[in-house]
Copies of this chain bind each other. A is one copy, B any other.
Amino acid sequence: MNLEQFPKKVRIVEVGARDGLQNEKSVIDTADKVEFIKKLADAGHQSIEVTSFVRPDRIAQMSDAKELFPLVKKIIDPDKTQLICLVPNLKGLELASELGVKDVAVFTATSDSFNLKNINATVSQSFDRIEPVIEKALASGMRVRGYVSTAFGCPYEGAMDPRKAGLVAQRLDQMGCHEISIGDTIGTGTPYSVHKVLDEVLKSVSQEKVALHFHDTRGMAVANVMAGLERGIAHYDSSAGGLGGCPYAKGATGNVGTEDLIYLFHTFGIDCGVDLDKQCVSSLYMLEKLEKYTTSKFLQAYLNGKMKIYMPSPKDF
A residues engaging B (CB < 8 A)?
A: 1, 152-153, 155, 158-159, 161-162, 186-188, 190-193, 195-196, 216-220, 222-223, 225-227, 230, 247-253, 257, 260, 263-264, 267-268, 293, 295-298, 300-301, 304-306, 309-310, 312, 314, 316-317
Contacts and interface: CB of A to CB of B under 8 A. Distances in A.
A306 B217 CA distance: 9
User: How many copies of this kind of chain does the complex include?
Assistant: 2
A226 B309 contact: no
B158 A304 contact: no
Nearest to A222: B223
Contact of A301 (B218, B293, B300): B218
A301 B304 CA distance: 24
Contact of A219 (B222, B249, B251, B310): B222
A216 B298 CA distance: 9
A88 to B, nearest CB: 25
Nearest to A267: B190
A269 to B, nearest CB: 8
A158 B317 CA distance: 12
Given A1-B230, A248-B293, A190 B264 contact: yes
A187 B219 contact: no
A158 B309 contact: yes
Contact of A304 (B191, B250, B304): B250
A162 to B, nearest CB: 6
B195 A1 contact: yes
A192 B314 contact: yes
Contact of A218 (B192, B193, B263): B263
24 contacts: A1-B230, A159-B312, A159-B316, A161-B317, A162-B317, A187-B301, A188-B309, A188-B310, A190-B312, A191-B264, A192-B314, A192-B317, A193-B267, A193-B312, A217-B306, A218-B260, A218-B301, A219-B260, A219-B263, A219-B296, A220-B222, A220-B263, A226-B227, A253-B306
Given A158-B310, A248-B293, A309-B155, A1 B267 contact: no
Nearest to A155: B309
Contact of A297 (B152, B161, B218): B218
A85 to B, nearest CB: 29
Contact of A227 (B1, B152, B304, B305): B1
A195 B305 CA distance: 27
Contacts of A188: 309-310, 312
Interface centre among A153, A249, A297 (most CB of B within 10 A): A297
Given A158-B310, A192-B317, 9 more contacts: A153-B312, A159-B312, A191-B267, A192-B267, A193-B267, A220-B260, A226-B226, A226-B227, A250-B305
